[in-house]
Structure 1
Amino acid sequence: MHRAASETPFPPRLMIGRPELALMAITLLWGGTFLIVHQAMRHSGPLFFVGLRFGTAALMALPLAMPVLRDVTRREWLAGTTIGLGIFAGYSLQTWGLQSIPSSTSAFITAAYVPLVPILQWIILRRRPRLASWVGVVLAFIGLLLIAAPKDGLSLGRGEALTLISTLAIALEIIFISLWAGRVNVARVTFIQLAVTSILAFACMIPAGEAIPPFSWTVMLSACGLGLMTALIQFVMNWAQQSVSATRATLIYAGEPVWAGLIGWIAGDRLPATALLGGALVVAAVIASEVRFERNRAP
């Protein structure tokens, strides 16, 4: 009787703070990059554009990192390089795969990073996800499949295999950010990871046989604009994931195709009913993952 009187169920409440709101904002920004990249790819190869984009982003981040760059530590070099490797592999492999497979198939396979993150977080960081996080992961994954489900089925060729490997890199990037969060300087690590990504992309052009494209204002303006956006996105990710777990961050990032689809709709694309349902499920996943059931304990 005493337990029932002193401990009563508390209604579920949403735990959304400034870090989560910041991640939602950059996810919207992230989704808006698809149209820009789509236009730029008509005038440039994938590795050159990735190198130019992240090189521009590194230059944008340099003024913030310069005052503290002298004090960079070995841990920060390791963190920035590790995260940069994940970013480079994810962006490059996904773009490379898109040369031989439809975008809908690529999006379908890329959705696999959503359930990969909590599994890798459990294995690498030893952080067991809450039940609400697993529910959110399932809802988000189903939603992403409905948004980008290919019409002609899924076959595992060269392009599909490259894209599938890229999902592992994307998941590892999110894990690496959480691994080093709170233990390094955000400005220094952000600059290092952006510079590493750019250097690797340019360096891999030679073995990949990709030539430097002719000068194009479309490529230059797109790279500069995306470079600024990329620098902002990486700064916010590194800052917010100091207090937001990798699983929660992934569920918020899962809203990227929703925003991309909405922006595409404004530009003239028309989404089928299944894609709209998928978008609703992704939004529901973010909300479900943030609901916590607590009990009101009497003093």
Structure 2
Amino acid sequence: MTRVQANALLLLAAVIWGSAFVGQVLGMAGVGPLTFTGVRFLLGALVVLPLAWRERRTLQAQGHALGAAELRWIALLGALLCTGVVMQQIGLMGTTVTNAGFLTALYVPLVPLLAWVFQRQAPHWSVWPAAAGCLGGTWLLTGASFGAASQLGRGDLWVLASALPWAVHVLLVGQVANRLRGAYGLACGQFLVCGVAASAAGLALEPITLQGLATAAGAIAYTGVLSVGVGFTIQVVGQRHAHPADAAIVLSSETVFAALFGALFLGDRLTSAGLLGCGLILASIVLVQTLPLLRARLANPS
């Protein structure tokens, strides 16, 4: 797979994820956030299971069977994925699709910061202005007043908090995929962990009815098959062949698609300040990924 093909896959994932915010909102009409997350991730695991099974048989024939250490990594990534998705899903009950899309993208500047703290990889200087830009963009997005922080609703705060598990997941997923020598087994395994954990919590904490599941069936099918089964899987596949900076830039376009689909299907609207805030956040995300790549290319023109 060429770099251009890999980036095209990542762009497709960003489009799917951006549109899935609408499905995540509509699905809440019938079930709670835990149940919705659990069912759609179990469905996503079923979608990718045949590919994971074939990949595992090939790797076993090559002498690369999964060990206890690899299974623990899959469990960790599944737990991180579950935490991020559930927090985001709860947040969508109290914020707009547009806000959720842009606030979720705050995980991108967090990734190099976490790499610096836990893996001793010093971040590029662009991380600091990008982080400030994201904070400024959030201020504009919430009304551009000096009391903006207090204007963040509970939904916004849940989505903001979800950026941390998302960032840790993004930091680790490429390393674990390389360790497992495959993308489909990792994708299926983490979906299964997420789906089982969220479903168990949903059974314990949320009312579940057949009528509610029927009401949410369309949203569950769309987000389970496309957002999880296709979107998250091609992210793992694409990131095995794309430059990390390219991948982050392309995937960050999810925020633009979330705003677009929110406007088209849910009537979301932003003020001029909100639009400026969205632009500032997106520019910060692109900045923190583009400048290190540009510096590397200037240092090595070949």
TM-score, with length taken from structure 1: 0.78
Q: Do the aligned residues in 1 keep the contact of 2:75 with 2:193 (CA within 8 Å)?
A: yes
Pairing 1:219–2:216 present: yes
For 1:181, which of 177, 180, 187 is the aligned residue? 177
For residues 287-298 of structure 1, what are the structure 2 equivalents within 5 Å? 287-288=286-287, 289-291=289-291, 292-293=294-295, 294=298
For 2:262, which of 239, 260, 264 is the aligned residue? 264
C-alpha separation between the residues in 2 aligned to 1:285 and 1:64? Answer: 37
Q: Could you tell me which residue of structure 1 aligns to residue 149 of structure 2?
A: 154
Pairing 1:114–2:108 present: yes
Q: Could you tell me which residue of structure 1 aligns to residue 15 of structure 2?
A: 28
Which region of structure 1 is more displaced relative to structure 2, 251-260 or 126-135?
Answer: 126-135
Q: Could you tell me which residue of structure 2 aligns to residue 95 of structure 1?
A: 89
More helix by share: 2
**Structure 1: runs of 5 or more not aligned:** 1-15
Which region of structure 1 is more displaced relative to structure 2, 161-170 or 86-95?
Answer: 161-170
Pairing 1:240–2:234 present: no
Which region of structure 1 is more displaced relative to structure 2, 79-88 or 139-148?
Answer: 139-148
Per-residue deviation at 1:157? 8.9
Pairing 1:69–2:66 present: no
Could you list the per-position Cα deviations for residues 161-212 of structure 1 after superposition, in whole angstroms to 9, with x for gaps in the alignment? 65554222111111121332322211111110111110001111244x2122
- Structure 1 residues 243 and 149: alpha-carbon distance in aligned structure 2, compared to 1, 3 A threshold: farther
Per-residue deviation at 1:237? 2.0
Per-residue deviation at 1:28? 1.9
Pairing 1:199–2:193 present: no
Q: Do the aligned residues in 2 keep the contact of 1:108 with 1:148 (CA within 8 Å)?
A: no
Which region of structure 1 is more displaced relative to structure 2, 101-110 or 65-74?
Answer: 101-110
C-alpha separation between the residues in 2 aligned to 1:32 and 1:191? Answer: 22
- Structure 1 residues 282 and 210: alpha-carbon distance in aligned structure 2, compared to 1, 3 A threshold: same
Q: Do the aligned residues in 2 keep the contact of 1:117 with 1:174 (CA within 8 Å)?
A: yes
Q: Could you tell me which residue of structure 2 aligns to residue 171 of structure 1?
A: 167
- Structure 1 residues 39 and 157: alpha-carbon distance in aligned structure 2, compared to 1, 3 A threshold: closer
Q: Which residue type is aligned with residue 73 of structure 1? A: L
C-alpha separation between the residues in 1 aligned to 2:277 and 2:21? Answer: 19
- Structure 1 residues 94 and 42: alpha-carbon distance in aligned structure 2, compared to 1, 3 A threshold: same
Q: Which residue type is aligned with residue 176 of structure 1? A: L
C-alpha separation between the residues in 2 aligned to 1:144 and 1:244? Answer: 29
Pairing 1:49–2:46 present: no
- Structure 1 residues 297 and 51: alpha-carbon distance in aligned structure 2, compared to 1, 3 A threshold: closer
Q: Which residue type is aligned with residue 153 of structure 1? A: A
Pairing 1:84–2:78 present: yes
Larger of the two Rg values belongs to structure: 1
Q: Which residue type is aligned with residue 47 of structure 1? A: L
SS in 2 for 1:181: helix
C-alpha separation between the residues in 1 aligned to 2:177 and 2:138? Answer: 28
C-alpha separation between the residues in 2 aligned to 1:80 and 1:26? Answer: 21
Per-residue deviation at 1:160? 6.7
**Structure 2: runs of 5 or more not aligned:** none
- Structure 1 residues 133 and 237: alpha-carbon distance in aligned structure 2, compared to 1, 3 A threshold: farther
Q: Do the aligned residues in 1 keep the contact of 2:25 with 2:92 (CA within 8 Å)?
A: no
Q: Which residue type is aligned with residue 180 of structure 1? A: V
Per-residue deviation at 1:105? 7.5
CA RMSD of aligned residues (A): 3.4
Which region of structure 1 is more displaced relative to structure 2, 54-63 or 235-244?
Answer: 235-244
Q: Do the aligned residues in 2 keep the contact of 1:241 with 1:249 (CA within 8 Å)?
A: yes
C-alpha separation between the residues in 2 aligned to 1:42 and 1:65? Answer: 33
Per-residue deviation at 1:53? 0.5
Q: Which residue type is aligned with residue 275 of structure 1? A: G
